[in-house]
């Protein structure tokens, strides 16, 4: 017997037919003798409807009341799933965020999970009853409802799994696992059997949106075994595990785990920045104060004049604000010119295998160069190499790299 947490997203809860299909998956685990807690999202579209009500009520709404309104969507699906499970002969009851309770910070609409009481729900599970839990919601010390931010139900599921010391946490979603890259661009993309937490985080942060980044971070920290699998098809999913569990042959066989791309960013360049202590801080302090999310930062060594160019990327939607902020601090920083390019794409190859192998970067640069794709700028981490290229080349570049690293699934349709 195992204790497992299952999580179903909005498309798996969109209407009674889908809820019944999800319930059938829960029943299968129960029939196999497992204790099951199920974390659910709101019906697809429902959270948007509720968020829009709040915006219509006031553009500057009180986030504590926003949380009261939008948390109701998951309350509905948790109740309905319990009813459907009962109709299939599976004992079930709902445990709302305030009933557990799942404790959070008081940062309404973007609360952080602090922990969860398990006495009540453990009794439910131990007596063979399935617990249905609305994701996305928690309770402050002051007894008010919070929500965790959009997509927070993945994080709820991991937190519940950690608190319950569950044997695993299965995330059911509308894709059937994590792929080597976007199958819409590369039909030969392969589904990964396993991926490490670190690789998953790098892929998520560059735009492969299978799981909420926070949920992966939490699972890594709390040693929760995560699995991503399809709500709609009975096929094996992808396990997200610690590096030591990935198995030696994996790392040997495969230098690169996945290739991600992101075309939502723009590149900003400041020329001839004085290379002196504090000048880089002067660039990024106003951006941080205005909550602009800066991603890549590239600075090369200074020239003979003691000046250097600084390039960084920001979300495209923020470019007008960012250019204004930079203009305001030009005298302080002492740069020559500020320019931006919003026709760039970021391309990243990710893999724990590259830690112990050389030549990964060379393969990338060679493959791109052979196709005449120019590399604008480069950054690297221990398990990732990212480059900026002209946006128009992004599909070609992903396909070229997918082949170059031997990731193509030879059995899949070309």
Task: Check if the beta carbon of residue 259 is closer than 8 Å to that of residue 350.
Answer: yes
Nearer to a copy of itself, 82 or 287 (CB): 82
Task: Give the Cα-Cα-Cα angle 160, 164, 247 (nearest 5 degrees).
Answer: 90
Nearer to a copy of itself, 83 or 110 (CB): 83
**Min separation Cβ 133 and a copy of itself, Å:** 12
**Min separation Cβ 23 and a copy of itself, Å:** 9
**Min separation Cβ 61 and a copy of itself, Å:** 5
Quote the crossing angle between the two packed helices 16-31 and 72-87, to the nearest 10°. Answer: 60
Nearer to a copy of itself, 56 or 305 (CB): 56
In terms of DSSP H, where are the helices of 178-305?
A: 197-205, 213-222, 248-253, 279-289
Instruction: Please give the distance of CA 255 from its chain centroid, rounded to a whole number.
Output: 22
Task: Check if the beta carbon of residue 5 is closer than 8 Å to that of residue 161.
Answer: yes
User: CB-side exposure of 366: number of CA atoms within 13 Å?
Assistant: 8
Supply 125's token pair: 């599970």
Burial (CB count <10 Å: 0-12, 13-18, 19+), residue 182:
middle
| Interface contacts to a copy of itself, rule CB under 8 A | 16, 19, 50, 53-54, 56-58, 60-62, 64-69, 71-73, 75-76, 78-80, 82-84, 86-87, 93-94, 96, 98-99, 143-145
Nearer to a copy of itself, 35 or 147 (CB): 147
Beta bridge partners of 133: 39
Nearer to a copy of itself, 55 or 371 (CB): 55
**Min separation Cβ 64 and a copy of itself, Å:** 7
**Cα–Cα dist 380/348, whole Å:** 9
**Min separation Cβ 62 and a copy of itself, Å:** 6
The region, left, alpha or beta by phi > 0 then psi within -120 to 50, assigned to residue 372 is left
Nearer to a copy of itself, 106 or 282 (CB): 106
Nearer to a copy of itself, 67 or 309 (CB): 67
**Cα–Cα dist 400/306, whole Å:** 39
**Min separation Cβ 139 and a copy of itself, Å:** 10
**Min separation Cβ 286 and a copy of itself, Å:** 30
């Amino acid at each position: 017997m195992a204790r497992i947490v299952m999580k179903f997203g909005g498309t798996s809860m969109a209407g009674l037919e889908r809820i019944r299909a999800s319930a059938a998956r829960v029943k299968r685990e129960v029939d196999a003798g497992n204790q099951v807690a199920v974390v659910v999202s709101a019906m697809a579209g429902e959270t948007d409807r509720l968020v829009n009500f709040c915006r219509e009520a006031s553009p500057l709404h009180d986030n504590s009341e926003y949380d009261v309104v939008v948390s109701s969507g998951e309350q509905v699906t948790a109740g309905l799933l319990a009813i459907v499970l009962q109709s299939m002969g599976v004992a079930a009851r709902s445990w709302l965020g305030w009933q557990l309770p799942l404790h959070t910070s008081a940062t309404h609409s973007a609360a952080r999970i602090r922990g969860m009481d398990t006495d009540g729900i453990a009794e439910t599970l131990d007596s063979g009853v399935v617990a249905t839990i609305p994701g996305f919601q928690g309770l402050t010390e002051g007894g008010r409802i919070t929500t965790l931010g959009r997509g927070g139900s993945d994080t709820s599921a991991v937190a519940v799994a950690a608190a319950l010391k569950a044997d695993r946490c299965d995330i059911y979603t509308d894709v059937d696992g994590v792929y080597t890259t976007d199958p819409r661009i590369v039909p030969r993309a392969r589904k990964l059997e396993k991926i490490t937490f670190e690789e998953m985080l790098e892929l998520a942060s560059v735009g492969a949106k299978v799981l909420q980044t926070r949920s992966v971070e939490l699972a890594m920290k709390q040693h929760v075994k995560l699995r991503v699998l399809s709500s709609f098809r009975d096929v094996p999913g992808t396990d997200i595990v610690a590096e030591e569990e990935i198995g030696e042959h994996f790392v040997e066989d495969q230098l690169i785990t996945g290739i991600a791309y992101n075309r939502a960013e723009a590149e900003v360049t400041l020329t001839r920045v004085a290379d002196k202590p504090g000048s880089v801080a002067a660039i990024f302090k106003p951006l941080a104060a205005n909550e602009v999310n800066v991603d890549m930062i590239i600075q090369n060594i200074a020239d003979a004049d003691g000046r250097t160019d600084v390039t960084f990327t920001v979300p495209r939607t923020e470019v007008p604000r960012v250019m204004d902020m930079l203009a305001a601090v030009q005298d302080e920083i002492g740069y020559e010119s500020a320019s931006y390019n919003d026709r760039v794409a970021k391309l990243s190859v990710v893999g724990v295998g590259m830690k112990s192998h050389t030549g990964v970067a060379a393969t990338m640069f060679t493959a791109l160069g052979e196709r005449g794709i120019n590399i604008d700028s480069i950054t690297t981490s221990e398990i990732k190499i990212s480059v900026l290229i002209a946006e128009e080349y992004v599909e070609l570049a992903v396909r070229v790299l997918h082949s170059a690293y031997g990731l193509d699934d030879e059995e899949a349709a070309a």
